[in-house]
Every structure is written in structure tokens, then in C-alpha cells.
Amino acid sequence: MNELKIGLVLPGGGARGAYQLGVMLALKKYGLLKHIKAISGGSIGVFTMMCFLMRDFYKAYNTFKEMNSQRVLGYKKGFINKLPIKGNGFFSRGPLISFINQHFDLAKYVDTKIPLYASVAKVNKTGLKTTYSPAYFRLNNLSHERVLSILLATSAIPRVFDEVLIGGNKYVDCLKADNEPFLPLTSHDINALFVIPLTSSHNLKKYSKVNIPVVDFECSELRESPIINMIDFETEKVDLYLNCGYFNG
């Protein structure tokens, strides 16, 4: 029997990210984590990826518990900074940056042989018209600062947060382009895709041309949940999402 080689897809979904951590706990229980050979994520899915790379689920759980709305949605100071100028958002990333710098050793996490990818939406501006195209960053062996920039970019919801400048280009949340970034994984030696979606945009038809098994960990409760709770980072919701993910896993 051939060795199982899993490509793990961690889509975005805001405050629901603890669901993915719960599924991972179930995978650990059944001895499947060791078979993960490549990971790709978007938005909160990249944060979940970093928590997985901690190799300490208790620490990862506490990290999710501490990532509340006050840390994620920091209010900007000053009238000018709050003006709805195109490309700028209403909220500051300052509190989140401080939180990540205190709790995440990003350079250490991405120093791994497991290929890691983050999906972002590249901002393309022609005159007054703005379009978005998918882009993928390979995270392995990058500096803490560069991974942090990519984390901010992949979760930069337009008009909520500022666009993020990386290498001369501006990027925003992957929801504008590819929220389920499985394509980067197909170039690696995997024989199964495990997908842990968080939103109603999930559609298995996207994987119709994939010639390996796709294991779908979709939760009907999340699909039917109101979109607004994607930015409702409240401590008491973490246990709810984590338990739901664990039992579905």
C-alpha cells in the first residue's frame, strides 16, 4: 500500500479559524498529521497554518482564545486616517501586529521541509478601475518580517484594512481571488487533498479536474452561519468552533 501523502488546504473564514484547529486535533488523534506533506492557506487559514507549525496544540488553542476583536480590529487614530480613501481601510493592524510579534516565531515555523503557501489577491488598477488576480507566496525560509507582511496581506479585507505593499505590488485578502488555494499543492508529491472550508463559497466542483481523492471537511453549520460572524472574534466562540471541527473531523 502506498504511503498517504496529504496536501492540506486551509481556506479563509475569519473568526471561524478555530474550526480548522479542531479538525487538526482529530487528524492528530487518528495519526494523520504526520502524513501532511504540503500546506496552502488563505487569510485566517494561514494563521491556522502557523499554529499547526507551532507543534503545540495547547499553545495554538490559547493563541486563538487571545485573538479577540480588540486585537484584530484596531481603531485608527485621527480623522484623516479614517477617511475612506481608495485602498485604505477603517481599521488599524497595529494591535494584531503587536500580538503576532509577541506570540509567533514566524521564521522558526516556516523553517521546514513541508512546502507552505499563502494565497493573496493582487490589486490591479487601471485608471479608476480595480481588479484582482490570484497570487501565491511560498513561505518557506522567509524572515519573520516578510511572513508577517504576507499574513497581513492575505487577511486585508478591502475597506476594512489597508492594502499591503510587498515587492512593489499591493495585495488584499484572498477572498477577492482564490480563497481555497489548492493549485500550488498540485506540483508536489501528494496523493490526497484534505480541505477544511469555513464559508458558503466552498464548492467541490472546483476540484472536478483534480485526479487524486479530495476529502471535504465542510461543516453545514458554518455554511449556514451569517457572514457577519466572520469578523466576530470573541473568546467564547473559539471552543464552539474548535469542538465542531473536532467532531466533524
Give the range among 55-64, 79-88, 129-138 with minimum mean pLDDT.
Answer: 79-88
Band the pLDDT of 3: cuts 50, 70, 90.
very high
For residue 1, pLDDT over 90 is answered with no
In the prediction, which pLDDT does 79 show?
Answer: 39
In the prediction, which pLDDT does 223 show?
Answer: 81
Class of CATH domain 6-248:
alpha beta
Which DSSP helix (H) or strand (E) runs through 125? strand 116-126
Mean pLDDT of 61-88: 66
- 68: number of Cβ within 10 Å: 18
Task: Please identify which residue in the block is written with the cell numbers 493573496.
Answer: 120
85 CB-side CA count, 13 A: 8
Residues 6+ apart with CB under 8 A from 55: none
Helix and strand numbers, DSSP H then E, in the chain: 10, 10
Domain boundaries, the chain: 6-248
Band the pLDDT of 125: cuts 50, 70, 90.
very high
* Single pTM value for the model: 0.93
Measured over the CA atoms of residue 121, residue 97, residue 45 and residue 66, the dihedral's sign is negative
- How many Å apart are CA 118 and CA 107, to the nearest integer? 15
In the prediction, which pLDDT does 78 show?
Answer: 47
Measured over the CA atoms of residue 186, residue 40, residue 124 and residue 132, the dihedral's sign is positive
In the prediction, which pLDDT does 83 show?
Answer: 47
Closest CA to 44 of 66, 75, 67: 67
C-alpha cell at 134: 490570484
CA distances from 232 to 9, 80, 101, 193, 197 (A): 23, 26, 22, 29, 18
- How many Å apart are CA 118 and CA 39, to the nearest integer? 9
For residue 128, pLDDT over 90 is answered with no
For residue 80, pLDDT over 60 is answered with no
Over the stretch 205-243, which tens digit does the pLDDT of each residue have?
999 999 999 999 999 888 878 776 777 788 889 999 999
Closest CA to 179 of 211, 214, 154, 216: 154
Over the stretch 157-195, which tens digit does the pLDDT of each residue have?
888 889 999 999 999 999 999 999 999 999 999 999 999
Radius of gyration of the chain (CA): 17
In the prediction, which pLDDT does 32 show?
Answer: 97
Q: Are 1 and 185 in contact (CB under 8 A)?
A: no
Band the pLDDT of 76: cuts 50, 70, 90.
low
Task: Please give the single-letter amino acid code of residue 25.
Answer: L
Q: Are strands 169-172 and 116-126 parallel, antiparallel or unpaired?
A: antiparallel
For residue 77, pLDDT over 70 is answered with no
Q: Identify which has the larger pLDDT, 92 or 111.
A: 111
